[in-house]
Amino acid sequence: MIIVVKPGASRDQVEKILGTLEQFHLKAHVSEGAERLIIGVIGDKSRLPPGALELLPAVEKLVPIMESYKLASRAFRPEGTAFEVKGVRIGGTELTMMAGPCAVESEEQVDSVARVITSCGARFLRGGAYKPRTTPYSFQGLEKEGLRILRTVADRYNLLVISEITSENDIDYASDYIDIIQIGARNAQNFRLLSAVGKSGIPVMLKRGIAETIDEWLGSVEYIMSEGNYKIIMCERGIRTFETSTRSTLDISAVPVLKSKTHLPVIVDPSHASGKAQYVRPLSLAAIAAGADGLIIEVHPNPICALSDAAQQITPDEYRVIADEVKAIAEIIKRTYPQ
């Protein structure tokens, strides 16, 4: 259920609502929009005596939320969510460009990519330090050394770092190096990890599980939000279907569907969705045209020698072309492209 608070309600009146919820052991999540204050209520509502909330002067209306996800529901923040990560805005009208290699391999490798993406408007440097590989015999990532390289290079170019964490044990250490924690497709329903990143308060990008429905994915989001962490980006990265021409099938419909179901920003990963460098450009353009809030793209200075995902990484020069075309689409759909 959400409580829509009357415009102009006083602080005391809002406190009275929150006090009533606490009295009946209900959890309140407050969302302060530009026009309206909305309180999400989680817990057993049958504890409330009839009229306990309805009769409070600041309550405009109570709206039940039928979906199994509550805080992620569009009703909780009808105007949509935009938030800042160290001064960089995500969501809203400006597009967010994230790029970098699949895995951190060396400082030179990351630097050569960071230099180009910075000049093309990207504000976030990606790179895997802890790699969730399908077999234990593949390159597993440079781990702590990888995080150190990412931070060093990002600071050199005034970029922010997004990188994947696969265990709750790594959150504390990684928080010194990472600005946005990525939860990968393979951990999309690792609920203890989701709760732990929720408790950390660090912004999170949650990728869609390989075979996760949109409602299940929103359930995963809810694990993070219910711990009080609302700085979440949802990342569509393709789902497993019967089609084998691409590594996964980019669910482009997920973009407008998410826009109607949730208030959270949505970013598309055309690299893991297609698994093939040649399809990254058309899928990037389609994603932005469909209303995505940004892209995360794998870029490597020499893709054929990459230690992971060699087939899907594009070169810095190819990235430049995509960035220019995304900029052109942004203008048509009235979004701004980062300078």
Per CB under 6 A, residues contacting ligand PEP are 102, 128, 132, 164, 184-186, 207, 237, 269, 272
Residue 94 · residue 86 · CB < 8 Å: no
Q: Which is nearer to ligand PEP, 190 or 226 (CB)?
A: 190
Q: Which is nearer to ligand PEP, 56 or 159 (CB)?
A: 159
Q: Of these partners, Mn ion, ligand PEP, none, which one is at the site of residue 170 (CB under 5 to 8 Å by kind)?
A: none
Q: Which is nearer to ligand PEP, 3 or 264 (CB)?
A: 264
Q: Give least dist CB 270 to ligand PEP, A.
A: 11
Q: Of these partners, Mn ion, ligand PEP, none, which one is at the site of residue 184 (CB under 5 to 8 Å by kind)?
A: ligand PEP
DSSP 106: -
Cα–Cα distance for residue pair 121/112, rounded to 1 Å = 15
Q: Give least dist CB 210 to ligand PEP, A.
A: 7
β-pairing, 2-5 vs 59-63, is antiparallel
**Three-state DSSP class for 164?**
strand
Query: Residue for token digits 């060699």?
Result: 310
**Does residue 102 bind Mn ion (CB under 5 A)?**
yes
Instruction: Determine the residue with CB nearest ligand PEP.
Output: 184
Q: Of these partners, Mn ion, ligand PEP, none, which one is at the site of residue 316 (CB under 5 to 8 Å by kind)?
A: none
Cα–Cα distance for residue pair 54/62, rounded to 1 Å = 7
Q: Of these partners, ligand PEP, Mn ion, none, which one is at the site of residue 40 (CB under 5 to 8 Å by kind)?
A: none
Q: Which of 232, 309, 319, 322 binds Mn ion (CB under 5 A)?
A: 309
In terms of Cα–Cα distance, which of 309, 251, 260 is closest to 283? Answer: 251
Q: Give least dist CB 273 to ligand PEP, A.
A: 8
**Residues near Mn ion (CB under 5 A), total:** 2
Q: Which is nearer to Mn ion, 179 or 309 (CB)?
A: 309
Query: Residue for token digits 């359930």?
Result: 219
**Residue 42, amino acid:** I
Tokens of 150: 């990412």
Beta bridge partners of 98: 124, 296
Cα–Cα distance for residue pair 178/148, rounded to 1 Å = 10
Ordered alpha helix ranges (H), the chain? 11-23, 107-119, 144-157, 171-174, 191-200, 214-225, 254-261, 270-274, 280-289, 316-332
Beta bridge partners of 206: 183, 234
Q: Of these partners, ligand PEP, Mn ion, none, which one is at the site of residue 164 (CB under 5 to 8 Å by kind)?
A: ligand PEP
Q: Which is nearer to ligand PEP, 31 or 271 (CB)?
A: 271
> Which residues lie near Mn ion (CB under 5 A)?
102, 309
